Amino acid sequence: MNRLEFPVFTAMITPFNEDGSVDFESFEYLLLKQQEAKVGTLVLGSTGEGLNLNAQEKRAIVKFAKEMNLDVPLMVGIGGHSIQAQKGFIAYCDEVGVDSLLLVTPLYSKPGKEGQFEWFSELLSTTETPCILYNVPSRTGVKLHPEVPARLSERFSHVVGVKEASGSVEEFKEFRKQSPKLNFYSGDDVLTEAFVKEGGIGLVSVASNVWPAQTRKMVDLMLAGNFDELFKDWEESANALFSASNPVPTKVLLQHKGWITHTNVRLPLSLKDLTHEGEEALLEADRKINNWYRKK
């Protein structure tokens, strides 16, 4: 399989030790779980609290993941509002030799179509690594304009896809219409089925942190058109991972499963935002999807 066309990538959490440092022992375990399930890895995305890590920590995470030499692809999230900082980090990722980069719309400043085009052009001109553009207006405060990926892909051959997390099937269809040759990934677990039916090739998932094999199975069934065989409570279960700010619920469930040692997150996230009812819903979702998967 082409390392750039995996049907599922996991937006990996970043586990922390009790003192707040990166827990590389747990991180290694999580990465091996993804490899076992034949799921690609995305490090330093929003689920990985990438903006709450300093430059040294981010480089250490990329280096660690790369040196594991996994037989699944490694994608790295590039985000922020300092163009020079992002260009420097891209150069480091190129030096390490990652498989692809995820370039998100600039944060906070809410640029228009031309500002977006010039921003991405500046980043893309510094690398030849395959790049996926990321539309997530709920986090960045601005939508990626549908014309921008189309124009960029004409100018830069290493623009290979879009991660679309607008929450709208209609907006996904407009992106596909503007850029029919690009690979489109759902950035929303619960909309994957709808996006696949509209030409999406896969999912960049939060849920696959806790359910890697199950999520891969779900997406494989979707891509094969076997929608009647899908886990019926998928939307409810995936939504349980967002009952508090991502990745708080995911880390809590991962600790319950024994996959990470500590649930620590970095400010402004807080574990106190997850209610007891939310935690119980997580455990019930885990039970249900595991029962479904065992029967497959």
Active site residues: 134, 163
Q: Which residues contact 226 (CB under 8 A, 6 or more apart)?
A: none
Of 41, 44, 29, the residue nearest 260 (C-alpha): 29
| Cis peptide bond prior to 106, omega within 30° of 0 | no
| Cis peptide bond prior to 268, omega within 30° of 0 | yes
Cβ atoms 15, 23 nearer than 8 A: yes
One-letter amino acid identity for 49?
E
Indicate left, alpha or beta for 49 from its phi (over 0: left) and psi (-120 to 50: alpha): left
Both structure tokens of 71: 């037989």
Cβ atoms 249, 209 nearer than 8 A: no
CA-to-CA dists, residue 91 to 84, 155, 156, 234, angstroms: 11, 20, 17, 39
Exposed / middle / buried, residue 254 (Cβ in 10 Å: 0-12, 13-18, 19+)? buried
Cβ atoms 214, 237 nearer than 8 A: no
Cβ atoms 195, 164 nearer than 8 A: yes
Of 93, 20, 14, 99, the residue nearest 59 (C-alpha): 93
* Paired residues of 8 in beta bridges: 203
Query: Rounded distance, CA 45 to CA 148, Å?
Result: 21
